[in-house]
Structure 1
Amino acid sequence: MADTNQRIVIDNFRAPVANWALESDSAYILSLSGCLETLTKYDSAQGKVVPFLATEWKQVSPREWDFTIRDGVKFQDGTELNAESVAASLNSVLKARVPARAFGPSTVSSVVATDAKTVRLTTPVESPLVPFRLASVNTGILSPAAYKGETVDPFGHCTGPFVPVSEKVKQSLTLDRNPNYWGGEVKLAGAEVRFITDGATRAAQVQTGEADISLSIPASSVSSLEKASDVSVLKADSQRTATLYMNNARAPFNNVDFRRAVRSALDLDSLAASVYEGAALPSTGPFAATEPWASSASSSPKQNFDEARKLLEQAGYTAGRPLEILAIVERAEFADVATVIQDNLKSIGVPVSITSKESVAAEADVLAGNYDMLLSQRNRLIDIADPIGFLTADYTCKGTYNLSHFCNVEYDQVIAEATTASNTEERYKLYARAGEILNDQAVNAWLVNQQATDAVRSNVLSYVQDPLSRYVLTAETAKSGS
C-alpha cells in the first residue's frame, strides 16, 4: 500500500546547465522531476500527441495554430495559468540567444494570446508538426515571476506535481509535493533527484537502496541487478544510437573515402555482443531497421579490413598524428567502446588516442569543430517526437546541433520538403531518403541501437518507464511504507 508520507531518491545521468534556461537541456531535468509541464505531451505508448496544459488545438490557416489553455490550473506560486502567461513563457524561449532545437525562430514566427484562453502560434511555412513541437520539454510553461531576475528561476514557478525547493549545484535537486496540483492527488511527499554521471554508481545505489530509481543503467551492470530480488530492471526499445561522430569539416574526415574506411574497419557485431553483452543491436545507419522511416535498403555494415585499406589509399591518407576519440563518461560503456574502435583502426594503420570527458566539458569544442571523433549518443525523438527535429538540428548546413559539421545541398533540400509535407507516408519516404544520403556519405559511424534501461526498487509503485526520460516523477508515482 502506498504511504503518502514517503519520499524517493532518483539517480539521473546528467546535471542541469545554463542556470535552468528552458532552451537548454536543463528543461529535461525540470520535466523528469515533475516540475515543468507543456501544452501537449507525447504519449510513447500510444505513439501520439495528447493534451496536457492545452485541452485542444486546431490549425486555423496553413501557418497558424490555436491552442486552448486548460481551465483551473495554477502555477505553484498561486497565480493563474492563462494565455498571456503561456505566450510570455514561450516567447522567452523563442527569443533565446541560443534557440532550443525544437522551438526557435526558424520554426515559429510568433506566439500571441488572442484571448484569455487561446494562444496562437504562427510558423514561417506550413508546418504539420506544431503539436509535436509543443510537446518538447523546452516549451515548458513557467509563471511570469520566473523571468523577473537575470536568469530563469523555476523554483516555485512550475505547474507540475512537485515543487523544487533547494539545489546543490551539480549534485542534486530537492522537491516537495505540490498540494494544489491541478491533476489530482500527489502520492509522494517529495523527492531528491541526484545528478550522477557514473553509470556504475547509479547501478550500485539502486542495488543498495541508496536510490529508489536509477536511470540509464549501463549494460555491464544489468546482470547483477537482474539477480537482485528487490530490484526490477525495466527495458524499452528506444530511438537511441551509440554513434562515433566524425568531424566532416576537418582532415582527414573531410574526405568521404576516409570516413567510409573508418566504418569498414569496425566490427559492430562483436561490439554489440561483447561491450553491450547482447543488450544492443548492430546499427544499420542513422535509423533502426524497425522504424517506419528507415530505408528498406539499409543493412548493418560488416568489418572488411581489405576494403578499408583500399579506401584509405583512395583518400590519400598517410598516418600522422594520432586521431583523438572523445568518450563521454556519462555512458560507462564508452570507455570500452573507444578501446575496441582504437584496436580496429590500428589494424588498418590509423593511430588513435582516447580522452574521456563529461558531455558538458566536450560540447563547446565539438560544436566549434575542435575535435576529431566523439563517442556519444542521441535519441532521435528527444527534441521532438518525430525524426524531423533530429534530421534538421543534427545534419542540415545550419543545424543547431550539427556535431558532425556536415553540409550537403541535396540533403537540405530533402529536409526542407519533409518539413512542409502534411502526408505522413510522404514525409516518412523523405526521411528514408535523408537517411540514405547520410549513410552514403558515411557522415558518422552509427554503432549500435540501444535499449532504454532503468532500475527500480520493488517498493516503488506506479512507475511507468519513459524511453525518453522526460516523465519520471508524476502525481501517480508512489512508494510503500518501510
Structure 2
Amino acid sequence: MMKNWKIYMYLPMLAVLMVGCAGDDGEQDEEPEDSTSENGVEEVEGGDAVMAISSDPVDLDPHGSNDGPSTIVRSNIYENLVEQTSDLEIEPHLAQSYEQIDDVTWEFILREDVTFHDGEPFNAEAVKANIERAINPDVSNRLFLLDMIDRVEVMDEYTVHIITEYPFGALPANLAHDTGGMISPAAIEDEDNGDTNIATNPVGTGAFTFDSWDQGYEVVLTKNEDYWGEDAHLDSVAIRTVPEQGTRVGMLSTGEAQVSQSLEAANANQVEEMEEAELAVYPSLAMDYVGFNTQVEPFDDVRVRQAIALAIDHEAIVEGLFEGYGSVADSPINDRVFGYHEDLDAPEYDPERAAELLAEAGYEDGFETSIWTSDINSNYVFIAEIVQDQLTDIGINADVQIMEWATFLETTGNGDHEMQVAGWTTVTADADYGLYPLFHTDYQGAEGNRSFYSNDELDAMLESARQEIDEDERIAQYREIQEFLREELPMVSIAFQDNLFGVSSNFEGYDRRSNGKFLFKDAYFTDEEAGY
C-alpha cells in the first residue's frame, strides 16, 4: 500500500469500500472467514478496533447532547429513517422509500426486516414513539431540528406519515441528523417508568450493540449478531477518550488505535511520515468562531462586537494554525451548505478602526474580560490564545480559561460566560441548521444560541426562510440573513477547517460522514503489515 497519501472525502466512501466475493474452492456450504476485495486487499473477519477521540461522550441518547464525541458513538448504535451520504445526498435507510405527498405531509414506507437490539420490532409505532419523544421539550435538547413537526400518523404497520406545521423542505436532512436515530420503544417505556436511562444504556438497531461505558475512559460496542443488513466484519469497537493529541498520534504508531480523531495541522506531517498509518483529510461542514454573550456588558453593544471582529487577524490565524487544512470563514456556513452567501467577505483586519469603535462605545481604554473554551479541540485553545494576544492591541485584556467539554457546554449553555471559542457544524448541509439554532431567540443557551442573541427582525427572517418552498427564494432570504449577521456580529466566524484523522494502514472500510457520524459497519482489518 502506498504511504503518505491523503484521503479526500469529496468522493463517496464507497469508492474505497469495494467488497468482492471469495474465490470458489468448490465448497458451497461454508462461508470463508476472510474475503478479498476488488482492490486485492484481504478482508480479515473479526478483530477488535480502537478509535482514540479527544473527549468523553456526554451521553448516548440521540435526543440528548448535540456534541461530536457522542455522535461518533451513537452513529454505530442507532440508525435513521434516512441517511446523509458522504456526498451529502439523502437516501432511505430504515425507511425503504419516502416522498412528500403534499406541502406538509411526508410518507415513509419502512423496512419490514428490522429489529432493535432488545428484540423489539421496528415499525410505524416505533417511529411515532421516537419522533414524539424527540419533539418533547422535557426530553429533547434539540427541538430546533424537528419542532416544525405537528404530528405523526400511523397508517399501517410499516407506513407512517409525518405532518409538519408548515412546509419544510429540509425535513429529510434533519431526520438524517443524529437526533433521528431510532430507539427501542421498550427502552423508551422503561425510561418513562424509571427502569432505565437511555443516556447510559442505549438500545438501537445498528450494526453494533452497546456493551459498556467506563466514563472518562472508553465505550465498548460489540457486533450485532442479529443485524438486519450485512454483518459487521469487526467483533468489537472501543471508542477511547484520549485528551492528549500526542498520545492519540502515538497510539497509531504502536498499533494501540486504528483511528485517531481530531488531529491538528501541526501533527499532519508526523502522521503522513508514518509507515504504519495514513492521514485522512475530510472537507468539513464545521466553522470555528469567537462568540459573545450579547446579554452582558460590554458585548450588548454592537460597536464592541464589531471592534473585536476588526481586531482579529483572520488570515494570520488560518495560515499559522491550519497550514493549508482550512480557510478564512466569511459566514457561519460554508460553501458546501445550501444557502451559503458566496459574495460575503470576512471582517477586514483593521485595529485602528477597531480602537475608534471601542472609543465610540465608551471603552477608549479598553476593558477586562474572559474567553472560555474547551480542551475537546486544541485548535479552539490556540484560537483563543491568538485572539487574546491580538485584542491587547486595542486595550482588551482577556483571560483564557480552558474547560473540560461537558463543563464548557453546561456553563456556556447557562450563559455564565462573556466570550467563548467553539465550533458549529452544519451537519444537515442546509442553512436552516447553521443559522436558526445559533441565532433564533427561542434557542438561547444549550440548544445552540450561546450568544444569547435576540432580535425580532432576525427571528422573523429565520422563520420565513425555513418555511419558504421555492429554493431560489430560500437562497435569497439566507443571503439577507447572512448580511444582517455580518453587521450585528453575535459571533465572529473565524475558520472553516478540514477534519484530520490518522488511520492505520491495515484498517479500511470505515466511513466518516460530514454530519459527524463515523461508521464502523463496513470497517475491517487487512492482511497487510501495518509496520508495527
Which category of TM-score, normalised to the shorter sequence, fits these structures? over 0.9
1:44 maps onto 2:86 in alignment = yes
For residues 305 and 67 of structure 1, the distance between their equivalents in structure 2, rounded to whole angstroms, comes to: 55
State the one-letter code of the partner of 1:394: L
In structure 2, what residue type is equivalent to 1:48? E
Query: Paired residue for 1:192?
Result: 238
Deviation string for 1:398-428 (max 9, x for gaps)?
1231111111222212211111112222212
Aligned partner (choices 285, 294, 311) of residue 239 of structure 1: 285
Aligned to 1:419: 466
* 1:395 aligned onto 2:442: no
Q: Would the aligned equivalents of 1:198 and 1:332 in 2 still touch at CA under 8 Å?
A: no
Say which is worse superposed, 15-24 or 68-77, in terms of deviation.
15-24
Partner in structure 2 of residue 69 of structure 1:
110
Instruction: Name the counterpart of 2:64.
Output: 23
On the 8 A contact 2:145/2:433 being kept in 1, the answer is no
Match of 2:302 in 1: 256
Calculate the TM-score normalised by the size of structure 2. Answer: 0.85
Per-residue deviation at 1:291?
A: 4.9
CA distance in 2, matches of 1:211, 1:408: 47
3-state SS of paired residue (1:165): strand
Does residue 446 of structure 1 match 2:493?
Answer: yes
User: After TM superposition, what 4+ stretches of structure 1 lie above 6 angstroms from structure 2?
Assistant: none
Selected match of 1:83 from 124, 135, 140: 124
Shift of 1:116: 0.3
Q: 2 CA distance for matches of 1:17 and 1:391?
A: 24
Paired with 1:289 and 1:143, the residues of 2 have a C-alpha distance of 37
Q: Secondary structure of the equivalent of 2:438?
A: helix
How far apart in 2 are the matches of 1:18 and 1:471? 16
Instruction: Work out which of the residue numbers 129, 134, 137 in structure 2 matches 1:93.
Output: 134
Unpaired runs of 5+ residues, structure 2, are 1-41
SS at match of 1:55: strand
Alpha-carbon distance in 2 for matches of 1:96, 1:102: 7
Q: Indicate which of 373, 389, 411 corresponds to 1:365.
A: 411
After TM superposition, give the deviation of residue 309 of structure 1 in Å: 0.8
Rounded to whole Å, the distance in 2 between the matches of 1:153 and 1:259 is 38
Distance 2:380 2:237 in 1: 30
2:238 counterpart letter in structure 1:
E
Identity %: 23
* Counterpart amino acid of residue 40 in structure 1: V
In the alignment, the residues of structure 1 paired with residue 202 and residue 314 of structure 2 have an alpha-carbon distance, to the nearest angstrom, of: 47
Q: Deviations over 1:278-315 (max 9, x none)?
A: 32212213233565523243123332111111111111
Q: Deviations over 1:23-65 (max 9, x none)?
A: 3337614433x211010111131x3210010011122332222
CA RMSD of aligned residues (A): 2.1
Moved more, 296-305 or 357-366: 296-305
For 1:159, what is the secondary structure of its paired residue? coil
CA offsets 1:423-450 (integer angstroms, 9 cap, x no match): 2222122122111111111221111110
Q: Secondary structure at the match of 1:338?
A: helix
Code of the residue aligned with 1:285 in structure 2: it is S
SS of the residue corresponding to residue 427 of structure 1 reads helix
Report the counterpart of residue 432 of structure 1 in structure 2.
479
Deviation at 1:142, TM superposition (A): 1.7
What's the offset of the Cα at 1:471? 3.1
Secondary structure in structure 2 of the residue aligned to 1:440: helix
Distance apart, 1:155 and its partner CA? 4.8
* Per-residue deviation, 1:225: 0.7
Q: Which structure 1 segments of 5+ residues have no match?
A: none
Note if 1:118 corresponds to 2:147.
no
In structure 1, the residue matched to 2:5 is none
**Equivalent-residue separation in structure 1 for 2:425 and 2:140 (angstroms):** 19
Cα distance, 1:100–1:390 mapped onto 2, change above 3 Å: farther
Q: 1:230 aligns with which of 276, 282, 291?
A: 276
Pairing partner for 2:422 from 362, 376, 385: 376
**Is residue 206 of structure 2 the alignment partner of residue 160 of structure 1?**
yes
Deviation of the 1:21 alpha carbon = 5.6
AA partner of residue 394 (structure 2): I
| 1:79 and 1:143 in contact (8 A); partners too | yes
> Would you say the 8 A contact 2:64–2:141 is kept in 1?
yes
In structure 1, the residue matched to 2:508 is 461
Distance in 2, Cα, partners of 1:396 & 1:64: 25
Which one-letter code corresponds to 1:35 in the other structure?
A: I
SS in 1 for 2:263: coil
The 1:234/1:200 distance shift into structure 2, 3 A limit, reads same
Q: 1:289 touches 1:298 (CA, 8 Å); kept in 2?
A: no
For 1:243 and 1:127, the matched residues in 2 are separated by: 28
Q: Deviations over 1:194-222 (max 9, x none)?
A: 12334333223223321101122122211
CA gap of 1:330–1:351, structure 2 versus 1, over 3 A, is same
Q: 1:413 to 1:130 in 2, by over 3 A?
A: same
Distance across 2 between alignment mates of 1:342 and 1:430: 35
Asked whether the equivalents of residues 16 and 25 of structure 1 are also in contact (C-alpha less than 8 Å), the reply is no
Does the Cα contact within 8 Å between 1:156 and 1:165 map onto a contact in 2? no
1:303 paired residue among 335, 340, 349 = 349
Matching residue's letter, 2:517: R
Deviation per CA, 1:308-334, whole angstroms, max 9, x where unpaired? 111111111154752100121111123
| Distance in structure 2 (CA, Å) of the matches to 1:217 and 1:226 | 12
Provide closer, same or farther for how the CA distance between residues 65 and 346 of structure 1 changes in structure 2, counting only shifts above 3 A. same
Q: How many residues align?
A: 477
- 254-263 vs 269-278, which deviates more? 269-278
TM-score by length of 1: 0.93
* Distance (Å, rounded) in 2 between the aligned partners of 1:74 and 1:98: 24
Q: CA deviation at 1:235?
A: 0.9
- Amino acid aligned to 2:176: A
One-letter code aligned to 2:502? A
User: How far apart, CA to CA, are the structure 1 residues paired with 2:53 and 2:151?
Assistant: 34
Q: Report if aligned partners of 2:291, 2:491 keep a CA contact under 8 Å in 1.
A: yes
